[in-house]
């Protein structure tokens, strides 16, 4: 059971203007990271090393919703938004996400439009959506019932849909004190769910009704037609694509990586048929206290993604030195899931997308340093959109790999020698003699 931490309720009541005390105290707090640190700090001393307390940022966003979330009936315009959990697989939690407001709410669940907006605003978007939860078997997608069909209609919508959602009780406002959890809004068991007739995106609808088209084919076709990646991911998660007898509901977290991977593989096959770039290139981009750099080489496709998390960041709470992790692939790709996780595939998509747009081929080394000012994880979308922006930046031209490497690594904090040791492709480029040298 969640354990209440009294000081946080007091902070909430004092820090959000006009917040009613009973609303602040209705927020449940689940204790997960080191409680001694939070209790000693109470959001004021910043013992975690971050410039702001991520717990309070999340709690304030949740509390701002106030009385609108205190009822079991949520009426509003879904962005459209749907969610599929992964706990209990193959029996999973599925449901709509609805804000207690009407109008154009599309921004609340369109990550493609979020990059550069304040983190507080993004957290507000997430916490304004109430999730209604119902249980389903992943195989229900083969013969969707009334509820799943309604969710699939919602996922096909081209614009926000007026929605009535009734929960069995008022949604629980749970604040999870765990930095590997993305911010999500209140949730509760679903009782009834009704949507107005949505304006359907014909592109998604066509793929949905084609029960002879494979899932990968549907994903690629929708991407080529300009459907947003996150919209494709939502429909994919509800089992809306693929041969009819093989359709499955897919947890949201898995669907994000599956779609990123599928699109990037298709783009890479196109990139491999293009001429290589004529010089070594260096790109740089910084956002949310993350520094990204990319080195593109005038060689056939290869790819490496490496992350360095500094002390007092999400994935490095208990060491005093930056923690580096990464993975790579050769020309013919990889067969195992990248150990660095979903960001590998979102980065690969963005790089391949940039090359295909330019009609060029290259090998790519992409590096990321994450500093303590990055106070909480925002989701894989953040890396995808950041790398997309990185690939749109003006780039430096260099005649040699060493010159490009020196310039790229000078933009980072970690020493050049450490990056040279940890990066497989950098090390290989510096030590192996190419046939072109003879």
- With cut-offs at 50, 70 and 90, classify the pLDDT of residue 64: low
For the cut 60, the answer to whether the pLDDT of residue 47 exceeds it is: no
- Report the relative pairing of strands 187-195 and 280-287 from DSSP bridges: unpaired
* pLDDT of 17 strictly over 90: no
Statement: residue 8 has pLDDT above 60: no
Q: What is the pLDDT of residue 377?
A: 82
Residue 375 is predicted with a pLDDT of 80
d(CA 97, CA 172): 14
Q: Name the residue with higher pLDDT: 438 or 259.
A: 259
Give yes or no for residue 174 having a pLDDT over 90: no
Region 191-209: mean pLDDT is 96
Model confidence at 1, pLDDT cuts 50, 70, 90, reads very low
Does residue 42 surpass a pLDDT of 50?
A: no
Choose between 265 and 316: higher pLDDT: 265
Query: Which tokens sit at 120?
Result: 């507080």
Indicate whether 31 pLDDT > 80: no
pLDDT of the residue at 127: 84
What sign does the dihedral 229-394-361-387 (CA atoms) show?
Answer: negative
SS3 assignment, position 393: coil
Residue range 171-175: average pLDDT?
Answer: 71
Answer whether residue 189 shows pLDDT above 90: yes
In this predicted structure, what is the pLDDT of residue 119? 87
Q: What is the DSSP letter of 261?
A: H
The predicted structure's pLDDT at residue 22: 52
What is the pLDDT confidence band of residue 30, given thresholds at 50, 70 and 90? very low
| Average pLDDT over the chain, rounded to an integer | 86
Strand order in the sheet with 280-287: 323-329, 303-309, 363-370, 290-297, 280-287, 396-398
Q: Which residue has the higher pLDDT, 186 or 238?
A: 238
Q: What is the pLDDT of residue 16?
A: 45
**What are the structural domain ranges in the chain?**
1-64, 66-200, 202-271, 280-437
CATH architecture of the region 66-200 = Beta Barrel (2.40)
Contacts of 217 (CB under 8 A, 6+ apart): none
- Report whether pLDDT(349) > 60: yes
Q: Percent of the chain beyond pLDDT 90?
A: 70
> Who's near 370: CB < 8 A, 6+ residues apart?
289, 290, 307, 308, 309, 310, 313, 314
**Residues 364-411: tens digit of each pLDDT:** 999 999 998 888 888 899 999 999 999 999 999 999 999 999 999 999
Has residue 172 got a pLDDT over 90?
no
CA distances (Å), 311 to each of 38, 321, 366, in order?
Answer: 17, 6, 21
Q: Which residue has the higher pLDDT, 179 or 253?
A: 253
pLDDT for residue 186: 85
Q: What is the pLDDT of residue 48?
A: 61
Give the pLDDT band (50/70/90) at residue 11: very low
Average pLDDT in the 313-328 region? 84
In contact, 384 and 369? CB cutoff 8 Å: no
Q: Is the pLDDT of residue 10 over 70?
A: no
Looking at residue 379, what is its pLDDT?
87
Residue closest to 182 by CA, chosen among 252, 285, 233? 252
Residue 433 predicted with pLDDT over 70: no
**pLDDT score at 83:** 93
């Amino acid at each position: 059971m969640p354990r209440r931490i009294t000081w946080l309720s007091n902070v909430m009541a004092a820090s959000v203007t006009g917040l009613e005390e009973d609303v602040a105290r209705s927020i449940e707090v689940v204790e997960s990271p080191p409680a001694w640190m939070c209790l000693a700090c109470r959001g004021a001393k910043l013992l975690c090393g971050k410039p702001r307390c991520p717990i309070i940022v999340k709690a304030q966003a949740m509390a701002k919703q106030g009385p609108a979330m205190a009822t079991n009936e949520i009426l509003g315009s879904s962005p459209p938004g749907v969610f599929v959990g992964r706990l209990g697989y193959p029996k999973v939690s599925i449901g709509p996400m609805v804000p207690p407001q009407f109008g154009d709410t599309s921004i609340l669940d369109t990550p493609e439009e979020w990059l550069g907006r304040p983190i507080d605003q993004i957290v507000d978007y997430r916490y304004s959506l109430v999730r209604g939860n119902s249980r389903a078997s992943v195989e229900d997608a083969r013969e969707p019932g009334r509820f799943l069909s309604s969710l699939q209609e919602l996922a096909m919508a081209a614009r926000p849909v007026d929605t009535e959602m009734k929960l069995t009780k008022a949604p629980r406002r749970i604040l999870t004190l765990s930095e590997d959890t993305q911010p999500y809004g209140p949730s509760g068991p679903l009782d009834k769910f009704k949507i107005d007739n949505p304006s359907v995106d014909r592109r998604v609808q066509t793929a949905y009704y084609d029960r002879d088209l494979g899932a990968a084919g549907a994903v690629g076709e929708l991407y080529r037609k300009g459907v947003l990646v996150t919209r494709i991911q939502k429909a994919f998660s509800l089992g809306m694509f693929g041969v009819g007898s093989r359709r499955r509901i897919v947890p949201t977290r898995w669907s994000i990586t599956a779609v990123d991977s599928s699109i990037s593989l298709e783009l890479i096959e196109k990139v491999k048929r293009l001429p290589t770039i004529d010089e070594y290139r260096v790109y740089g981009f910084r956002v949310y206290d993350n520094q990204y750099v990319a080195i593109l080489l005038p060689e056939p496709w290869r790819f490496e993604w490496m992350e360095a998390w500094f002390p007092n960041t999400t994935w490095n709470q208990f060491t005093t030195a930056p923690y580096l992790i990464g993975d790579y692939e050769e020309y013919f790709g990889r067969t195992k899931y990248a150990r660095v996780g979903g960001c590998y595939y979102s980065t690969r998509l963005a790089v391949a997308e940039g090359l295909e747009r330019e009609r060029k081929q290259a090998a790519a080394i992409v590096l990321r340093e994450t500093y303590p000012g990055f106070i909480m994880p925002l989701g894989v979308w953040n890396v995808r959109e950041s790398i997309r922006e990185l690939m749109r930046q003006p780039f430096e031209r260099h005649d040699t790999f060493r010159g490009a490497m020196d310039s790229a690594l000078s933009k980072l904090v970690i020493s050049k020698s450490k990056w040279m040791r940890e990066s497989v492709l950098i090390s290989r480029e510096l030590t192996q003699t190419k046939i072109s040298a003879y």
